[in-house]
Structure formats: C-alpha cells, structure tokens
Amino acid sequence: MGMGGDEEEKQQRQVLGAYGEELAVRYLERDGWLILERNWRGGRLGELDVIAQRFEPGYAPGSERRVVIFVEVKTRRASSARVPARCSVTKRKRETIAKLAKLWRQAILETQADAVNWSYRFDVVEVSVSGRGKDRKAVVSHF
C-alpha cells in the first residue's frame, strides 16, 4: 500500500531539507567554518540546524576572536520560491533560536569558561534547488 499524498509530500520535504542542510554544511566548511554541531536539540524547545565557528580578525591589531554562528538552513525548490527563503524565518522562530542558542551557550560554558568571550550571531543559509536527479542544481547563499 502506498503513502498518502500528505505523507509523501512530508517525506519529500524532509529529503529536500536534509539535502539542503548537507549543502549548507559543505558551503560553510569551504568558507572556513568548523562545524561544531548539527541538529542540536534543546529538549522540547526545538533544534538548531547548524552551529559553527571560526576565528576572525579581532578588534586589536594582530588579534583574533572566535565567532560562533547559529545557522538556520532554509531549503526550497526554486520553482516555489516566491519570496526568499530567509524571509520565512519568523519573529517566533528567531526567538526560539535565541533561546536554543542561550541553552547551548550555557552548556558549553560548563566545559569552556572562555566561551563567555566568544562572539555569537544568528545566520541563515538559503538553498534554492532546481531540477531533479542528475539534473538537480542548487544555489547556496549565506546571510
């Protein structure tokens, strides 16, 4: 017996989302980010898609600072993208991400006291997918 239309559509969205997350991680790694976590769960509150870090120039000459980003990955089919995917990160979603980021930071502070000095920010990686199978192409943008 086959899946119902809603179940099949949900499964297709999950496959597309996993594909987009994989492309987002590869993109971030190529851009010099070290992936710390993928799909980090904060209990019943939800999950952070990707947590990554890299060192960037600091404020003092010759210094550097550790930057940690909490990344929301948004993947869409190019044909269905009426507005940029990053625009679908609602105020409520941003608030949830902020709470999850706070939980992650509290957990990391237990083992790395210097994390209090790290810089933190919230980013969106947008993946726009067109085509299917061998003809599938994706455009990845980091905001």
Could you tell me the pTM of the whole model?
Answer: 0.86
Structure confidence by residue, pLDDT tens digits, 10-27 = 788 888 889 999 999 999
**What is the pLDDT at residue 24?**
97
**Per-residue pLDDT averaged across 119-141, rounded?**
89
**What is the pLDDT at residue 14?**
86
18-24: long-range contacts (C-beta < 8 A, 24 or more apart)? 19/75, 19/127, 19/129, 19/138, 20/73, 20/74, 20/75, 20/127, 20/129, 20/138, 21/49, 21/50, 21/73, 21/75, 23/127, 23/138, 23/140, 24/49, 24/50, 24/71, 24/73, 24/125, 24/127, 24/140
Structure confidence by residue, pLDDT tens digits, 60-115 = 888 899 999 999 999 988 776 577 777 788 899 999 999 999 999 999 999 998 88
Where does the pLDDT of residue 4 fall: very low under 50, low under 70, confident under 90, or very high at 90 and above? low
Cα separation of 138 and 125, whole Å? Answer: 12
**Per-residue pLDDT averaged across 123-134, rounded?**
87
**What is the pLDDT at residue 141?**
92
Residue 38 clears pLDDT 70, i.e. is over it: yes
